[in-house]
Amino acid sequence: MMRIDIITIFPEYFSPLDLSLVGKARVGGLLEVATHDLRGFTSDRHHTVDDTPYGGGAGMVMKPEPWGVALDAVAPPNRDGSGSIVVVPTPSGKPFVQADAERLAHAQQLVFVCGRYEGIDERVVEDARTNRHVEELSLGDFVLNGGEVAALAMIEAVVRLIPGFMGNAESLAEESYGVDGLLEYPLYTKPQHWRGLDVPDVLLSGDHARVVAWRKKLSLQRTQERRPDLLP
Ligand code: 6GU
């Protein structure tokens, strides 16, 4: 069973993990999820997690000490090779892509480090890397207010790949990035006519070879137009 630990100053952000498919995986015993409030790892009266940046500049930086204590508790050191991966969602990380989700889906434990404010003191990751496997990953070229929403997205991408998770193995194999790395073709269901728009005839033809060829053509067309970077 995979275990996911999340360290954050906003544990409430992760209530969506009780719902939907991720919630079912938890109930089904494929997954255990625990959130940890970073402020619980502080030792001052005010549970301080941030301070002003050395060198000046806007905003606040997350202090290293609470993170050190939290990581020691949640992801004990010397577990490299134990199947534990510390994931740090950050806009300055490497791009998180489907191959990362597939790799992370094989871990025994994922520990998400969710920073807020301008970011976390650089030494937290430097220290964690001395005895743990750490990955700094970004969802894309845009800025969120913190790692929480990014962690939720990554968790959903990973959990749905856990063996035995989705009822239908085919819908995993066939979706976007599953067929030749192209974007998915358009989908239709009943009714055949709706607001003056018709389902393409080929999909009603019963000719499976034509359907496959048509879908491939539209996948290519769509990829060309929207994501030319994915084409060879
Ligand atoms: Cl992973 N974190 C934050 N804070 N912002 C992001 C992001 C991650 N990916 C894109 N923007």
Does the pLDDT of residue 167 top 80, yes or no? Answer: no
The residue nearest atom 5 of ligand 1, judged by CA position, is 144
Question: What's the confidence (pLDDT) of residue 171?
Answer: 54
Question: What's the confidence (pLDDT) of residue 176?
Answer: 47
Query: Closest ligand 1 atom, CA of 115?
Result: 4
Contact 137, 93 (CB under 8 A): yes
Question: What's the confidence (pLDDT) of residue 82?
Answer: 83
pTM: 0.94
How many of the other CB atoms lie within 10 Å of CB of 226?
A: 10
- Give the separation between CA 10 and CA 5, rounded to whole angstroms: 13
The first and second tokens of residue 229, run together, are 């970077």
Cα pseudo-dihedral 76, 118, 151, 19, rounded to 10: 110
Mutate to test the pocket of ligand 1, among 139, 154, 155 (most ligand atoms within 8 A of CB): 139
Query: Closest ligand 1 atom, CA of 89?
Result: 1
- Give the separation between CA 186 and CA 34, rounded to whole angstroms: 38
Say if ligand 1 is within 6 A of residue 223 CB. no
Say if ligand 1 is within 6 A of residue 138 CB. yes
Does the pLDDT of residue 117 top 90, yes or no? Answer: no
- Give the separation between CA 61 and CA 81, rounded to whole angstroms: 31
DSSP string, 66-77: HHHHHHHHHS-S
Does the pLDDT of residue 206 top 50, yes or no? Answer: yes
Q: Quickly state the pLDDT bin for 193 (edges 50, 70, 90).
A: very high
Q: What is the pLDDT of residues 21-71, one digit of tens each?
A: 788 888 788 999 999 999 999 999 999 999 999 999 999 999 999 999 999
